[in-house]
Protein backbone atom coordinates (compact mmCIF):
# COMPACT_ATOMS: atom_id res chain seq x y z
CA UNK A 1 0.00 0.00 0.00
CA UNK A 2 1.32 3.44 -0.93
CA UNK A 3 1.79 5.83 2.00
CA UNK A 4 1.30 9.54 1.26
CA UNK A 5 2.54 12.28 3.60
CA UNK A 6 0.45 15.33 4.47
CA UNK A 7 1.29 19.07 4.56
CA UNK A 8 1.13 19.29 8.35
CA UNK A 9 4.00 16.82 8.87
CA UNK A 10 7.55 18.07 9.51
CA UNK A 11 10.53 18.28 7.17
CA UNK A 12 13.26 16.06 8.66
CA UNK A 13 16.97 16.85 8.42
CA UNK A 14 19.82 14.60 9.56
CA UNK A 15 23.58 14.84 9.78
CA UNK A 16 26.45 13.08 11.51
CA UNK A 17 26.65 15.97 13.97
CA UNK A 18 25.80 19.65 14.20
CA UNK A 19 27.10 20.65 10.76
CA UNK A 20 23.73 20.06 9.12
CA UNK A 21 22.35 22.91 11.22
CA UNK A 22 23.89 25.23 8.62
CA UNK A 23 21.44 23.66 6.15
CA UNK A 24 18.57 23.83 8.62
CA UNK A 25 19.31 27.52 9.15
CA UNK A 26 18.74 28.22 5.45
CA UNK A 27 15.54 26.15 5.49
CA UNK A 28 14.21 28.10 8.48
CA UNK A 29 14.87 31.36 6.64
CA UNK A 30 13.60 30.27 3.21
CA UNK A 31 10.58 28.23 4.41
CA UNK A 32 9.69 29.65 7.84
CA UNK A 33 6.14 28.25 7.92
CA UNK A 34 7.33 24.62 7.86
CA UNK A 35 7.83 22.45 10.93
CA UNK A 36 11.28 20.84 11.19
CA UNK A 37 12.81 17.91 13.01
CA UNK A 38 16.60 17.61 13.13
CA UNK A 39 18.62 14.56 14.13
CA UNK A 40 22.37 14.60 14.74
CA UNK A 41 24.12 11.23 14.95
CA UNK A 42 26.75 12.62 17.30
CA UNK A 43 27.51 9.30 18.99
CA UNK A 44 28.86 7.96 15.67
CA UNK A 45 30.47 11.22 14.48
CA UNK A 46 32.50 11.65 12.30
CA UNK A 47 31.14 9.99 9.17
CA UNK A 48 34.05 11.10 7.01
CA UNK A 49 36.17 7.99 7.60
CA UNK A 50 33.31 5.47 7.58
CA UNK A 51 32.86 2.84 4.88
CA UNK A 52 30.01 3.12 2.38
CA UNK A 53 28.38 0.05 3.91
CA UNK A 54 28.37 1.65 7.37
CA UNK A 55 26.94 4.90 6.03
CA UNK A 56 24.14 3.07 4.24
CA UNK A 57 23.35 1.16 7.44
CA UNK A 58 23.36 4.33 9.56
CA UNK A 59 21.23 6.21 7.01
CA UNK A 60 18.69 3.39 6.92
CA UNK A 61 18.41 3.41 10.71
CA UNK A 62 18.01 7.18 10.87
CA UNK A 63 15.51 7.28 8.00
CA UNK A 64 13.38 4.69 9.80
CA UNK A 65 13.42 6.82 12.93
CA UNK A 66 12.52 10.00 11.03
CA UNK A 67 9.70 8.30 9.14
CA UNK A 68 8.34 6.91 12.41
CA UNK A 69 8.49 10.50 13.70
CA UNK A 70 6.23 11.61 10.83
CA UNK A 71 8.64 13.11 8.29
CA UNK A 72 7.07 14.26 5.00
CA UNK A 73 10.47 14.85 3.38
CA UNK A 74 14.01 13.89 4.41
CA UNK A 75 17.11 16.01 3.85
CA UNK A 76 20.45 14.23 4.17
CA UNK A 77 22.46 17.22 5.38
CA UNK A 78 25.69 15.23 5.37
CA UNK A 79 27.86 14.98 2.29
CA UNK A 80 29.39 11.62 3.21
CA UNK A 81 25.97 10.07 3.83
CA UNK A 82 24.59 11.65 0.67
CA UNK A 83 27.40 10.14 -1.40
CA UNK A 84 26.93 6.68 0.07
CA UNK A 85 23.23 6.36 0.73
CA UNK A 86 21.06 8.84 -1.22
CA UNK A 87 20.16 6.57 -4.12
CA UNK A 88 19.79 3.58 -1.79
CA UNK A 89 17.28 5.42 0.39
CA UNK A 90 15.33 6.71 -2.58
CA UNK A 91 15.09 3.22 -4.04
CA UNK A 92 14.18 1.65 -0.73
CA UNK A 93 11.35 4.09 0.01
CA UNK A 94 9.98 3.71 -3.52
CA UNK A 95 9.97 -0.08 -3.13
CA UNK A 96 8.16 0.26 0.19
CA UNK A 97 5.52 2.53 -1.37
CA UNK A 98 6.49 5.60 0.67
CA UNK A 99 5.94 8.83 -1.27
CA UNK A 100 8.62 10.67 0.72
CA UNK A 101 11.28 12.61 -1.17
CA UNK A 102 14.90 12.29 -0.05
CA UNK A 103 17.13 15.25 -0.91
CA UNK A 104 20.91 15.26 -0.60
CA UNK A 105 23.45 18.06 -0.63
CA UNK A 106 25.81 17.08 -3.45
CA UNK A 107 23.84 17.57 -6.66
CA UNK A 108 22.35 21.00 -5.77
CA UNK A 109 25.80 22.37 -4.87
CA UNK A 110 27.38 20.95 -8.02
CA UNK A 111 24.80 22.56 -10.30
CA UNK A 112 25.42 25.97 -8.72
CA UNK A 113 29.20 25.58 -8.88
CA UNK A 114 29.11 24.60 -12.57
CA UNK A 115 26.95 27.63 -13.34
CA UNK A 116 29.10 30.02 -11.32
CA UNK A 117 32.61 29.12 -12.53
CA UNK A 118 34.10 31.34 -15.22
CA UNK A 119 37.26 29.33 -15.92
CA UNK A 120 35.81 25.83 -15.56
CA UNK A 121 38.24 25.11 -12.70
CA UNK A 122 36.32 24.12 -9.58
CA UNK A 123 37.71 23.08 -6.21
CA UNK A 124 36.22 20.78 -3.59
CA UNK A 125 36.92 20.61 0.13
CA UNK A 126 35.33 17.51 1.67
CA UNK A 127 35.81 14.52 3.96
CA UNK A 128 37.80 11.43 3.00
CA UNK A 129 34.62 9.41 2.38
CA UNK A 130 33.06 12.07 0.16
CA UNK A 131 36.19 12.57 -1.94
CA UNK A 132 36.75 8.82 -2.28
CA UNK A 133 33.16 8.27 -3.46
CA UNK A 134 33.68 10.36 -6.59
CA UNK A 135 30.13 11.69 -6.15
CA UNK A 136 31.08 15.31 -6.74
CA UNK A 137 33.10 14.49 -9.86
CA UNK A 138 30.05 12.74 -11.31
CA UNK A 139 27.66 15.50 -10.28
CA UNK A 140 29.85 18.33 -11.58
CA UNK A 141 30.51 16.56 -14.88
CA UNK A 142 26.80 15.91 -15.29
CA UNK A 143 26.08 19.59 -14.71
CA UNK A 144 28.82 20.71 -17.13
CA UNK A 145 31.24 18.28 -18.81
CA UNK A 146 33.58 21.17 -19.66
CA UNK A 147 34.74 21.63 -16.07
CA UNK A 148 37.66 20.26 -14.08
CA UNK A 149 37.36 19.41 -10.40
CA UNK A 150 40.28 19.51 -7.96
CA UNK A 151 39.32 17.61 -4.81
CA UNK A 152 41.04 17.97 -1.43
CA UNK A 153 40.26 15.60 1.44
CA UNK A 154 40.13 17.41 4.80
CA UNK A 155 40.10 14.73 7.54
CA UNK A 156 40.87 17.11 10.42
CA UNK A 157 38.58 20.04 9.66
CA UNK A 158 35.09 18.75 10.62
CA UNK A 159 36.23 17.28 13.98
CA UNK A 160 37.88 20.59 14.93
CA UNK A 161 34.73 22.54 14.06
CA UNK A 162 32.45 19.99 15.74
CA UNK A 163 34.41 20.40 18.98
CA UNK A 164 33.23 24.01 19.08
CA UNK A 165 36.50 25.53 20.22
CA UNK A 166 37.88 28.97 19.47
CA UNK A 167 39.32 29.99 16.12
CA UNK A 168 43.02 29.55 16.90
CA UNK A 169 46.33 29.20 15.10
CA UNK A 170 45.91 25.43 14.80
CA UNK A 171 42.70 25.88 12.84
CA UNK A 172 44.25 28.61 10.71
CA UNK A 173 47.17 26.31 9.87
CA UNK A 174 44.85 23.40 9.00
CA UNK A 175 42.69 25.54 6.74
CA UNK A 176 45.72 27.04 5.00
CA UNK A 177 47.14 23.57 4.25
CA UNK A 178 43.87 22.40 2.70
CA UNK A 179 43.46 25.55 0.60
CA UNK A 180 46.99 25.43 -0.85
CA UNK A 181 46.27 22.77 -3.54
CA UNK A 182 43.23 24.75 -4.67
CA UNK A 183 45.27 27.92 -5.02
CA UNK A 184 47.89 25.97 -6.97
CA UNK A 185 45.12 24.67 -9.28
CA UNK A 186 43.94 28.28 -9.86
CA UNK A 187 40.29 27.45 -9.18
CA UNK A 188 37.76 30.26 -9.27
CA UNK A 189 34.95 28.39 -7.48
CA UNK A 190 35.13 26.16 -4.41
CA UNK A 191 32.46 23.78 -3.16
CA UNK A 192 32.33 23.29 0.59
CA UNK A 193 31.60 19.56 0.57
CA UNK A 194 30.83 19.25 4.29
CA UNK A 195 28.09 21.09 6.13
CA UNK A 196 30.49 21.91 8.98
CA UNK A 197 32.72 24.03 6.77
CA UNK A 198 30.48 27.14 6.41
CA UNK A 199 31.27 27.89 10.06
CA UNK A 200 34.81 28.82 8.99
CA UNK A 201 33.82 30.38 5.67
CA UNK A 202 35.44 33.78 6.43
CA UNK A 203 38.73 32.02 7.13
CA UNK A 204 38.42 29.93 3.95
CA UNK A 205 37.64 33.04 1.89
CA UNK A 206 40.73 34.79 3.24
CA UNK A 207 42.94 31.82 2.35
CA UNK A 208 41.40 31.30 -1.11
CA UNK A 209 41.27 34.96 -2.06
CA UNK A 210 38.44 37.44 -2.64
CA UNK A 211 37.87 36.47 -6.29
CA UNK A 212 37.07 32.83 -5.53
CA UNK A 213 33.35 32.04 -5.22
CA UNK A 214 32.44 29.71 -2.36
CA UNK A 215 29.42 27.45 -2.80
CA UNK A 216 27.62 26.00 0.23
CA UNK A 217 24.76 23.56 0.35
CA UNK A 218 22.24 25.41 2.52
CA UNK A 219 20.72 27.81 0.01
CA UNK A 220 20.76 25.25 -2.81
CA UNK A 221 19.05 22.61 -0.68
CA UNK A 222 16.42 25.07 0.55
CA UNK A 223 15.42 25.82 -3.03
CA UNK A 224 15.26 22.11 -3.84
CA UNK A 225 13.08 21.42 -0.78
CA UNK A 226 10.73 24.27 -1.66
CA UNK A 227 10.32 22.89 -5.18
CA UNK A 228 9.72 19.31 -3.99
CA UNK A 229 7.09 20.36 -1.45
CA UNK A 230 5.32 22.59 -3.95
CA UNK A 231 5.17 19.93 -6.66
CA UNK A 232 3.66 17.40 -4.25
CA UNK A 233 1.26 19.88 -2.67
CA UNK A 234 2.95 19.49 0.71
CA UNK A 235 3.66 23.12 1.61
CA UNK A 236 2.57 23.93 5.14
CA UNK A 237 -0.61 25.96 5.58
CA UNK A 238 0.85 27.70 8.65
CA UNK A 239 0.47 31.47 8.48
CA UNK A 240 3.17 32.18 11.01
CA UNK A 241 6.44 30.52 11.96
CA UNK A 242 6.55 26.75 12.18
CA UNK A 243 8.18 24.79 14.98
CA UNK A 244 11.55 23.08 15.16
CA UNK A 245 12.85 20.38 17.46
CA UNK A 246 16.05 18.41 17.89
CA UNK A 247 17.33 14.98 18.82
CA UNK A 248 20.80 13.43 18.87
CA UNK A 249 22.42 10.09 19.64
CA UNK A 250 25.19 11.50 21.84
CA UNK A 251 25.29 14.07 24.63
CA UNK A 252 22.24 16.36 24.46
CA UNK A 253 24.00 19.08 26.48
CA UNK A 254 27.01 19.13 24.18
CA UNK A 255 24.80 19.14 21.09
CA UNK A 256 22.83 22.09 22.45
CA UNK A 257 25.95 24.06 23.41
CA UNK A 258 27.69 23.71 20.04
CA UNK A 259 24.50 23.58 17.99
CA UNK A 260 23.26 27.02 18.96
CA UNK A 261 26.42 28.52 17.49
CA UNK A 262 25.79 26.69 14.21
CA UNK A 263 22.07 27.44 13.99
CA UNK A 264 22.32 31.00 15.32
CA UNK A 265 18.99 30.40 17.11
CA UNK A 266 18.04 28.84 20.46
CA UNK A 267 17.62 25.06 20.27
CA UNK A 268 15.39 24.56 23.28
CA UNK A 269 15.23 21.03 24.66
CA UNK A 270 17.31 18.40 22.84
CA UNK A 271 16.25 14.77 23.16
CA UNK A 272 18.84 12.00 23.28
CA UNK A 273 17.70 8.87 21.43
CA UNK A 274 19.33 5.53 20.74
CA UNK A 275 19.76 4.72 17.05
CA UNK A 276 20.97 1.30 15.93
CA UNK A 277 23.48 -0.55 18.08
CA UNK A 278 25.47 2.52 19.02
CA UNK A 279 29.24 2.83 19.33
CA UNK A 280 29.47 1.41 22.83
CA UNK A 281 28.12 -2.03 21.91
Nearest to 263 by CA among 1, 2, 22, 16: 22
Cα–Cα distance for residue pair 119/188, rounded to 1 Å: 7
Reported as type and span, the H/E element at residue 91 is: helix 79-95
Catalytic annotation, pick one of 154, 179, 194, 248: 194
In the annotation, is 78 catalytic? yes
Q: How many CA atoms lie within 13 A of 62 on its CB side?
A: 35
Active site residue 179: no
CA atoms within 13 A on the CB side of 46: 23
Whether 213 and 116 have beta carbons less than 8 Å apart is answered as: yes
Nearest to 195 by CA among 108, 94, 265, 71: 108
Report which secondary-structure segment, H or E, holds 270.
strand 270-272
The catalytically annotated residue of 78, 154, 179, 248 is: 78
Residues marked active site are found at 78, 194
Amino acid sequence: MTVYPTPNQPVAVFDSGVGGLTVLHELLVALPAEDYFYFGDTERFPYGDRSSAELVEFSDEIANYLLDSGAKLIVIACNSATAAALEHLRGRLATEGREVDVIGVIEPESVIAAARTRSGRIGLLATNATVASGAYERAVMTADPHTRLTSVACPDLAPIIQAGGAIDEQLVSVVRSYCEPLRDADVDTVILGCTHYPLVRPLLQRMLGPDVAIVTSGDAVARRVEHALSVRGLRSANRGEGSYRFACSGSADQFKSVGERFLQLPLGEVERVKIGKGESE
